[in-house]
Amino acid sequence: MKKLRVIYAKRGLFSFIPHTSLPQVFARAARRAGLHFEYSEGYSPRPKISLGPALPVGVVALREPADINFTSWNDGLINDWINNLPIGLDIHSWGEVEGKSLSKECRVGSYLLFPREGLPPEELFQALTCEEMGQILLDVNRKDGMISFLMTDPQQYGPGFLVKYLVRKELISNWSEIAIIRTAIGNMIEGNMVPLL
């Protein structure tokens, strides 16, 4: 048995596929490629697939982690697996992992925020750098009309949290006024974000 960690992206129309549907999508494509899973026990066995922190429907993700347990692994089949994935879902890298569960390793999320319809980036930037964000926000930068930032604990503090915060500050009224991309999930080591693979 091998536990494989894959780093994937979901873009375009595929970003509207719910997080809970991803294991089924990965499993179907892997089966078509000839890969065999380790299954959970119980009345309704499912392939053992662990995903990183959920994202709201419609949020693009560039480097998301997933741990998938296979009964055997053949590197020669990875291209077949990738070729069977739907348009908008891509696997960028993969490697065998052991030890901690994926949920314990997802400590930091990095994001890009783009204001739409003439919303001044300066006001959003000031809202993100204020003391109210406290320990949640680890780093924030503004460049070329976008804001990049790191937030701790992506299980709890993600794009949904940020949108609610900006609505509460009366800077936006809903999701349609900004675009958010999660660029990576990782861990903090000595003050730097380190990717999971």
Q: By three-state DSSP, how is residue 196 classified?
A: coil
Token reading at 55: 């994202």
Please state the pTM of the whole predicted model: 0.92
pLDDT score at 25: 95
26-54 tens-digit pLDDT: 999 999 998 888 888 888 888 899 999 99
pLDDT score at 133: 83
**pLDDT band with cut points at 50, 70 and 90 for residue 16:** very high
| Between 132 and 51, the higher pLDDT residue | 51
139-174 tens-digit pLDDT: 899 988 899 999 999 999 999 999 999 999 999 999
187-191: average pLDDT: 87
Residue 110 CA to residue 149 CA, distance in Å, equals 6
66-87: average pLDDT: 90
Residue 166 CA to residue 175 CA, distance in Å, equals 10
77-85: average pLDDT: 92
Residue 50 CA to residue 64 CA, distance in Å, equals 11
Cross-strand pairs, 4: 68, 96
The yes-or-no verdict on residue 100 having pLDDT over 80 is no
The yes-or-no verdict on residue 122 having pLDDT over 90 is no
